[in-house]
Amino acid sequence: MTQLIKVVRHKSPSLIQKMINVSKAIVTEIRAPKPFNIVPDNVYQFRMSTCMACPHWEPSGNVGFGKCLLCGCCRSIKHKLANQECPDDPPRWTAYKG
C-alpha cells in the first residue's frame, strides 16, 4: 500500500515577524557567554545544506537566494553565528558548542 506524506508548507513570516525574529537572534547573541562567535566553515556548510534540503526552504525566495519559511532568514549571518539554531520543532541544527 502506498503511503502519502503530506508536507505542510508555511507562509513566509510577515515583515514585522521577521523583525521580531532578528531581534530575538540579536538578544540571544548579546546574552550568550561568547556573543557573536562564528562557527567553523564545516558547521556553516552543514547548516546551509540542511536548510536547503528542508521542506520549509523556499529556493526562489529573497530574489533567488532562498529563504526559510519558518523564520524568514536566507543565506544569512544566522547560519554563521554559533549561538543560533534552526527554528523548526525539533531544530534541524542547534547552537554550536565547539
Dump pLDDT digits (tens) for 40-78. Answer: 999 999 999 999 999 999 988 877 778 899 988 877 778
Domain count, the chain: 1
Is 12 domain-assigned?
A: no
Residues 23-41 pLDDT 10s:
888 898 888 888 889 999 9
Is the CB of residue 86 less than 8 Å from the CB of residue 92?
A: yes
What is the distance between the alpha carbons of residues 71 and 82, in angstroms, rounded to a whole number?
17
- Return the amino acid letter for 38: I
Whether 69 maps to a domain, the answer reads yes
Is residue 17 situated within a structural domain?
Answer: no
Domain that holds residue 81: 37-98
Give the mean pLDDT of 81-86: 93
Q: Quick check: is 19 in a domain?
A: no
42 within a domain of the structure (yes/no):
yes
73 located within any domain: yes
Please tell me whether the overall predicted TM-score, pTM, comes out greater than 0.85 for this model. Answer: no
Rounded CA gap, 46 and 27, in Å? 24
Biggest CA–CA distance in the chain, Å, is 52
* CA 51 from centre of chain: 7
